[in-house]
Amino acid sequence: MKPSPHMERALVEAEAAEARGEVPIGAVLVDASGTVVAADGNRVIEQHDPTAHAEMLVLRAAAANFGSERLSHLDLYVTLEPCAMCAAALALARVRRVVYGASDPKGGGVDHGARIFQQPTTHHRPEVVSGVGEGRAAELLRTFFQARR
């Protein structure tokens, strides 16, 4: 599937994260008009914070910007399938749609692993679209980890 302009922006954020020595994952939150509300890449190492995943950073920025923890009018574009922590935060924020690039069979929390949105205790289940920009997102991750082995 060809990347949308929003996934392209997420990929740029992933590349910037890689340039900072972070795992190359980028995320973008977009409103219904297509305006980017928040964009960032992983900052776990930079911030010495295991929760500083790209998704968490854009959720925090948007919540602060709107003065609300409810972000039901926003769509998330992220280069890798969100982990269980990020998926739970997305459900709590009531994000409308999650669009991700590469699947993560080992650490994913949406279509793999914990499958957070499918749990009966999850009250909000965003629409999920997978595989958008998958090739480029997967290649970024593959080359990043090959260089470290």
Active site residues: 55
- Location of structure tokens 């980028």: 26
Return the biggest CA–CA distance within the chain. 43
- Location of structure tokens 């297509």: 34
Beta strand extents in 35-133 (DSSP E only): 36-41, 74-80, 97-102, 127-130
Rounded CA Rg of the chain: 14
The Cα–Cα gap between 20 and 51 comes to: 17
How would you classify the pairing of strands 127-130 and 97-102?
parallel
CB contact set of 23 (below 8 Å; sequence gap of 6+) = 17, 42, 44, 141, 144
